Amino acid sequence: MHSSTYPPYDLMLCGGGVIGLSIAYQSASNGWTVLVVDAGEIGKAASWAGAGILPAGATIEALDPIEQLRSLSHRLHPEWSRRLREQTGIDNEFRQCGGLYLGCTAAERATLSANQMWWDEHGIRVESWSSAELALKLPVVASLVESNTGLQSWYVPDDCRLRNPRHISALVAACERLGVTMIENTRIDQLKTHGDRIVSAKVGTREFQAERYCVTSGAWASQLLGPIGIETGILPVRGQMVLYKLDKPLFSMVINDGHLYLVPRDDGYVLAGSCEEEVGFDDRTTSEKIDPIKEWSMKTCPALTTANIERTWAGLRPGSFDSLPYLGTLHPFENGFIAAGHFRHGLHWSTATGLLMYQWMSGQKTEIDLKPFCVQRGQTLGTKLSTFKESKP
């Protein structure tokens, strides 16, 4: 492939999930030449496996970096969805559908009451629904209301959803139109460095060259970073899912119950998930996790008892040790960058990540401060951990 001495691309993305594609889309829209290289099929890892829940973002100025990222992403999603549809004809099913939060147990009700304060403080609209209101507004859960006398629920009208496989298709189509080069089934073995620069990305005997390199390989990011001396707290966290198909759509809002949820699609499909497991890079499903998800989803929405189960799957979320993604420069490599570790929120935070990373890499002022997301915090942790190991008796 490319082995020229003059960098042919302004930017190379190492990994083509929703994060790599969003940065590619933003950068190519601004005139950069972009190369995306993926070890597998573009967009078919965590970004395909996810549910596409986009919880409402703060509407007042947020101080917390996570809330700033969420709020910016939330503001950008409708605009990206519209632009992608205009440019590609693909509807990514971004919908402001609302989100329901069920408080079935006393502990859940206590958590959600606390959440209500948090929603209020962040200027997010929320309604507390009585059991009677819930049964009226969402008849598909009426039997849950009958069997659980203490049930309380909260409804957040500005929660949204996105059909992630369609969103990926739209991003890929838009990137193609913008001239982005996308190469699949090509695992980058190594980033080669010289002094304070990354000079190429090695794939077997081939070398890809670019002016800038950005690691966007999700749960696998550490595999490229470790060999160049950069430690992060990124690790794979498996989540499992069940896909049902109803004859027709029976509800449109996302139903949340703790870490479990039901996410409807416009055509009658319903996704049920999920769980969090640290099992390395194993993306197989297990009946140990799938069975309780099925049991909970059919108890919550009995209509699913007669629905077809079309498919089950598992995906590897890029977890980070402090739940913040890594966004910024791969110091000391001045042309090396990272955007990875978005854990349970990568589909949601992808729009802000695309914009912020382009702003950062092109030397512009970023919409929000990226310091809290810098990679050095991982290195500090790494140092602390190795000191701890060394000092153990």
Ligand X SMILES: Cc1cc2nc3c(=O)[nH]c(=O)nc-3n(C[C@H](O)[C@H](O)[C@H](O)COP(=O)(O)OP(=O)(O)OC[C@H]3O[C@@H](n4cnc5c(N)ncnc54)[C@H](O)[C@@H]3O)c2cc1C
Q: Which residues bind ligand X (CB under 6 A)?
A: 14-20, 37-40, 45-47, 49-53, 187-188, 216-220, 223-224, 239, 241, 273-274, 315, 317-318, 340, 342-348
- If the CB atoms of residues 145 and 283 are measured against ligand X, the closer one turns out to be 283
- If the CB atoms of residues 135 and 340 are measured against ligand X, the closer one turns out to be 340
- If the CB atoms of residues 145 and 264 are measured against ligand X, the closer one turns out to be 264
- If the CB atoms of residues 150 and 226 are measured against ligand X, the closer one turns out to be 226
Q: Are 36 and 20 in contact (CB under 8 A)?
A: yes
Structure tokens at 24: 């590619």
- If the CB atoms of residues 18 and 124 are measured against ligand X, the closer one turns out to be 18
DSSP-derived 3-state class of residue 344: helix
C-alpha distances out from residue 259 to 69, 213, 235, 240, 347, Å: 21, 35, 19, 12, 17
Least distance to ligand X, CB of residue 260, Å: 12
- If the CB atoms of residues 335 and 351 are measured against ligand X, the closer one turns out to be 351
Q: What are phi and psi of 261, to 5 degrees?
A: -155, 160
CA atoms of 76 and 290, how far apart (whole Å): 34
Least distance to ligand X, CB of residue 106, Å: 26
Least distance to ligand X, CB of residue 22, Å: 8
Least distance to ligand X, CB of residue 131, Å: 27
- If the CB atoms of residues 150 and 280 are measured against ligand X, the closer one turns out to be 280
- If the CB atoms of residues 104 and 237 are measured against ligand X, the closer one turns out to be 237
Least distance to ligand X, CB of residue 276, Å: 9
Q: What are phi and psi of 267, to 5 degrees?
A: -100, 20
Least distance to ligand X, CB of residue 279, Å: 12
C-alpha distances out from residue 11 to 36, 206, 228, Å: 9, 17, 19
Least distance to ligand X, CB of residue 343, Å: 6
DSSP conformation class of 244 = E
DSSP conformation class of 157 = T
C-alpha distances out from residue 322 to 22, 68, 224, 234, 325, Å: 23, 16, 20, 9, 8
Least distance to ligand X, CB of residue 349, Å: 7
Strands (E), 159-307: 160-161, 181-183, 190-194, 197-203, 206-208, 210-215, 235-245, 254-257, 260-264, 269-273
Q: Given the structure tokens 């966004």, which residue do they identify?
A: 327
Which residues have CB under 8 Å from 328's CB, separation 6+?
Answer: 337, 338, 360, 370, 373, 374, 375
